């Protein structure tokens, strides 16, 4: 049932709109609210887009450079991306060299665009080293650690509150709700995995995206490639992996949504192991796909919670004896 608003409420509603709308340019005609321009924010990976869009709600215009299935390691901005970056009010990215050469492009950029790396507040000693001999850099797949991802969420919230103080309360409320949901899903994930015997909790994948997940959720993680999808598995890596699978009687290998599955499929054939459904590694999925997690809630795959619920259910399906 619709009712006309009492006139006394209208100025209050206009004030509320102005306080939560991130306007940067008031319209010439103050009566025309649609003519105002929203703050525009460019986000890079699906992980960053998930957090920034949920912290801000509809307050700003968010343009995501990468979508489901994208491989950030090999990311090269298109001309269209460069225009989006140079015309944005802010760019929020992952950092830790996750998005290929993006950080150097941002620091060399002639434009004065404000940028923030979501990983920048994570203490160095909590990051895992990559196993690569040369060009040592930290493992960037930190969203698979609930603890580290909360540090990132706290950090980017502080940055956004500094930039957009007029929506401080909204950002704080959204942050608390995200962290609460993450805690619920993390506790559910740990209890689910406990039903798989410890010696069977082995996750073998194409590239090394799941070391933080292994550390936080007590799963042994082995990858054919190193940290980056740009490396190819050498012959010795392959032989070692085949020996390991045979020795441990591993019954399932896992391919990833954003990595070529060919090498792992060949090893599965050679060792007679099953291939599980593809896991989400470097990119989240689409909001159209959902998985049922704790308390029978549906979690869309374009969110941290949805990706964790889906990955845990997929790992359980593959590893269950």
Chain residues that interact with Zn ion, rule: CB under 5 A: 209, 282
Q: How far apart are CB 131 and Zn ion at their closest, in Å?
A: 13
Answer for the pair 272, 316: CB distance below 8 angstroms, yes or no. Answer: no
- Tell me the three state secondary structure of residue 280: coil
Answer for the pair 283, 68: CB distance below 8 angstroms, yes or no. Answer: yes
Structure tokens, 131 = 């196993």
Structure tokens, 27 = 């319209």
Report the C-alpha gap between 192 and 201 in whole angstroms.
12
Distant-in-sequence, close-in-space partners of 175: CB < 8 Å, separation ≥ 6: 55, 153, 154, 157
Nearer to Zn ion (CB atom), residue 74 or residue 246: 74
Nearer to Zn ion (CB atom), residue 119 or residue 157: 119
Q: What are the distances in angstroms from CA 201 to CA 39, 204, 208?
A: 46, 10, 16
Nearer to Zn ion (CB atom), residue 98 or residue 299: 98
Q: Exposed (0-12), middle (13-18) or buried (19+): which is 113, by Cβ within 10 Å? A: middle
Nearer to Zn ion (CB atom), residue 161 or residue 221: 221
Q: How far apart are CB 282 and Zn ion at their closest, in Å?
A: 4
Answer for the pair 171, 157: CB distance below 8 angstroms, yes or no. Answer: yes
- Tell me the three state secondary structure of residue 69: coil
Nearer to Zn ion (CB atom), residue 64 or residue 258: 258
Q: How far apart are CB 310 and Zn ion at their closest, in Å?
A: 17
Q: How far apart are CB 281 and Zn ion at their closest, in Å?
A: 6
Structure tokens, 137 = 């850099």
Query: Pairing state of beta strands 252-256 and 274-279?
Result: parallel
Q: How far apart are CB 38 and Zn ion at their closest, in Å?
A: 32
Nearer to Zn ion (CB atom), residue 100 or residue 318: 100
Q: What are the distances in angstroms from CA 299 to CA 151, 190, 233?
A: 22, 17, 34
Q: How far apart are CB 209 and Zn ion at their closest, in Å?
A: 4
Nearer to Zn ion (CB atom), residue 175 or residue 211: 211
Q: How far apart are CB 290 and Zn ion at their closest, in Å?
A: 24
């Amino acid at each position: 049932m619709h009712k006309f608003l009492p006139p006394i409420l209208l100025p209050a509603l206009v004030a509320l709109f102005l306080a939560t709308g991130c306007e940067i340019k008031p319209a010439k005609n103050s009566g025309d609210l649609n003519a105002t321009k929203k703050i525009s924010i460019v986000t890079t990976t699906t992980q960053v887009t998930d957090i920034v869009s949920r912290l801000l709600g509809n307050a700003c215009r968010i343009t995501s450079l990468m979508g489901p299935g994208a491989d950030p390691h090999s990311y090269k901005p298109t001309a269209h991306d460069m225009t989006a970056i140079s015309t944005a009010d802010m760019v929020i990215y992952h950092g830790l060299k996750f998005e290929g050469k993006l950080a150097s492009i941002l620091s060399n950029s002639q434009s004065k665009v404000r940028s923030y790396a979501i990983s920048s507040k994570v203490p160095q000693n909590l990051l895992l080293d990559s196993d690569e001999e040369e060009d040592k850099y930290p493992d960037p797949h930190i969203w698979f650690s609930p603890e580290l991802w909360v540090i990132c969420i706290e950090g980017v919230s502080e940055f956004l509150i500094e930039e957009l103080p007029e929506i401080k309360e909204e950002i704080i409320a959204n942050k608390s709700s995200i962290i609460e949901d993450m805690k619920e899903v993390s506790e559910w994930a740990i209890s689910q995995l406990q039903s798989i015997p410890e010696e069977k909790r082995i996750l073998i994948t194409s590239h090394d995206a799941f070391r933080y997940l292994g550390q936080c959720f007590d799963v042994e993680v082995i990858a054919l490639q190193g940290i980056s999808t740009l490396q190819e598995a050498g012959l010795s890596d392959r032989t070692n992996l085949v020996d390991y699978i045979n020795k441990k009687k591993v019954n399932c290998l896992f391919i990833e949504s954003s990595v070529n599955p060919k090498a792992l499929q060949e090893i599965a054939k050679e060792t007679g192991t099953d291939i599980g459904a593809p896991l989400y590694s470097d990119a989240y999925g689409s909001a159209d796909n959902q998985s049922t997690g704790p308390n029978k809630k549906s979690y869309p795959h374009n969110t941290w919670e949805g990706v964790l619920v889906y990955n845990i259910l997929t790992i359980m399906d593959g590893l269950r004896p």
